[in-house]
């Protein structure tokens, strides 16, 4: 009985267990089927999207390739144009450089020729100037030698003249004038008068007065010749000074005819060296120093 019971219980448990598994399996199967279906659908959609993406990618790559090829062609053309322009500019530059080099060479040659010509002219001018300087130096040396000779000759003549002057002055005499005043040295001819001028003690004015009856100017005074006697070498004249008239009657040659004028502390002296017919020749000696006018 127990065995039967146990057997029944075991069968009962096995059936129960079997009854629980079946729905689960079916559910799993259903899920698997549904998953497969979803998977297949998803896979189809994914393949479709991949196909579209591949088509779009190929189209984009084609477009990019075409654009790249176009751009590459344009860039190549631009590069060719730029290269052509560069070659053209390089050619122009080379031609300009060649022309400039030739022009510079011609200018340098012309300049060198001009400098050489100017140097030759300068050398000729210098040589000519040196020759002129030498000639001038020789001429100057000759003139200097001649001048030295003339100076020596002049010194000799001056020494001789001084000697003659000293001798002439030594021969001059001082006599008493008609006013009783001792005169200065008296000159009797032109040579002695020149010696007196060299001494420079007085101012001297030569005169040649004719018998005209009219006053004739001699230095700062006037003289009127009244009578001239060549045989006796005597004369008479009037002296006009400071609005006064002084008669000098019957005077002889080489005799100092003395008279005073305003501002003169020493007397004026009129000396006649020659008495001719109706004329007398001589000189007037005047003091150099005059007093201030009052």
Instruction: Give residue-wise pLDDT tens across range 244-260.
Output: 999 999 999 999 999 99
138 pLDDT band, cuts 50/70/90, is confident
198 pLDDT band, cuts 50/70/90, is very high
Is 13 a residue whose pLDDT tops 70? no
- Least confident span in 4-8, 148-152, 204-208: 4-8
Is 197 a residue whose pLDDT tops 70? yes
- Quick one: angle between helices 2-171 and 190-199, nearest 10? 140
Is 159 a residue whose pLDDT tops 80? no
Which pLDDT score is estimated for 21? 66
Long-range contacts of residues 241-248, Cβ cutoff 8 Å, at least 24 apart: 241/268, 248/178
Is 16 a residue whose pLDDT tops 70? no
* Buried-state track 240-279, b at ≥16 Cβ within 10 A, e below 16: bbeeeeeebeebebbbbbbbbbeebebbbbbbbbbbeeeb
Q: Give the residue among 270, 262, 287, 260 at the shortest CA–CA distance from 203.
A: 287
Query: Quick one: tokens of 112?
Result: 């060198």
CA pair distance 139, 127, nearest whole angstrom: 18
| Residues above pLDDT 90, as percent of the chain | 32
Contact by Cβ (8 Å): 179, 259: yes
Which pLDDT score is estimated for 123? 81
| Residues above pLDDT 70, as percent of the chain | 82
Instruction: Classify strands 257-259 and 268-276 as parallel, antiparallel or unpaired.
Output: antiparallel
Rounded to the nearest 10°, the torsion over CA 144, 150, 151, 157 is: 180
Mean pLDDT of 10-16: 53
What one-character-per-residue DSSP string does 245-257 give?
Answer: EEEEEEEETT--E
Is 103 a residue whose pLDDT tops 90? no
3-state secondary structure of 212: coil
Q: What would the pLDDT profile of 40-89 be if each residue is shown by its tens digit?
A: 787 878 788 888 888 887 887 788 778 767 777 887 788 788 888 878 88
Q: What would the pLDDT profile of 202-214 be if each residue is shown by its tens digit?
A: 999 999 999 999 9
Sheet of strand 202-210: strand arrangement? 202-210, 279-287, 268-276, 257-259
Mean pLDDT, the chain, whole residue set:
81
Which pLDDT score is estimated for 12? 52
Is 224 a residue whose pLDDT tops 70? yes
Which pLDDT score is estimated for 203? 94
Which pLDDT score is estimated for 291? 67
Which pLDDT score is estimated for 269? 95
Is 9 a residue whose pLDDT tops 60? no
Is 243 a residue whose pLDDT tops 80? yes
Q: What would the pLDDT profile of 258-293 be if each residue is shown by its tens digit?
A: 999 988 888 999 999 999 999 999 999 999 877 655
């Amino acid at each position: 009985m127990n065995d039967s019971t146990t057997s029944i219980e075991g069968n009962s448990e096995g059936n129960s267990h079997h009854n629980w598994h079946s729905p689960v399996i079916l559910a799993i199967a259903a899920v698997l089927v549904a998953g497969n279906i979803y998977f297949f659908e998803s896979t189809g959609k994914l393949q479709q999207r991949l196909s579209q993406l591949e088509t779009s990618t190929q189209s984009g790559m084609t477009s990019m390739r075409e654009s790249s090829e176009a751009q590459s062609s344009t860039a190549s053309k631009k590069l060719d144009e730029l290269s052509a322009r560069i070659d053209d500019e390089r050619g122009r530059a080379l031609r300009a450089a060649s022309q400039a080099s030739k022009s510079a060479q011609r200018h340098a040659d012309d300049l060198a020729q001009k400098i050489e010509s100017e140097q030759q002219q300068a050398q000729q001018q210098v040589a000519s100037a040196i020759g002129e300087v030498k000639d001038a130096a020789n001429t100057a040396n000759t003139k200097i030698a001649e001048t030295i000779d003339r100076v020596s000759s002049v010194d000799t003549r001056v020494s001789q003249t001084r000697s003659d002057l000293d001798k002439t002055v030594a021969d001059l005499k001082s006599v008493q004038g008609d006013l009783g005043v001792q005169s200065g040295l008296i000159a009797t001819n032109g040579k002695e008068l020149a010696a007196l001028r060299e001494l420079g003690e007085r101012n001297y004015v030569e005169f040649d007065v004719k018998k005209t009856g009219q006053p004739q100017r001699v230095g700062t005074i006037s003289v009127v010749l009244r009578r001239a006697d060549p045989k006796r070498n005597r004369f008479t004249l009037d002296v006009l000074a400071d609005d006064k008239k002084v008669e000098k009657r019957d005077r002889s040659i080489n005799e100092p005819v003395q008279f005073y004028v305003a501002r003169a502390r020493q007397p004026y002296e009129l000396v006649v060296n020659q008495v001719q017919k109706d004329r007398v020749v001589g000189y007037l000696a005047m003091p150099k120093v005059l007093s201030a006018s009052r």
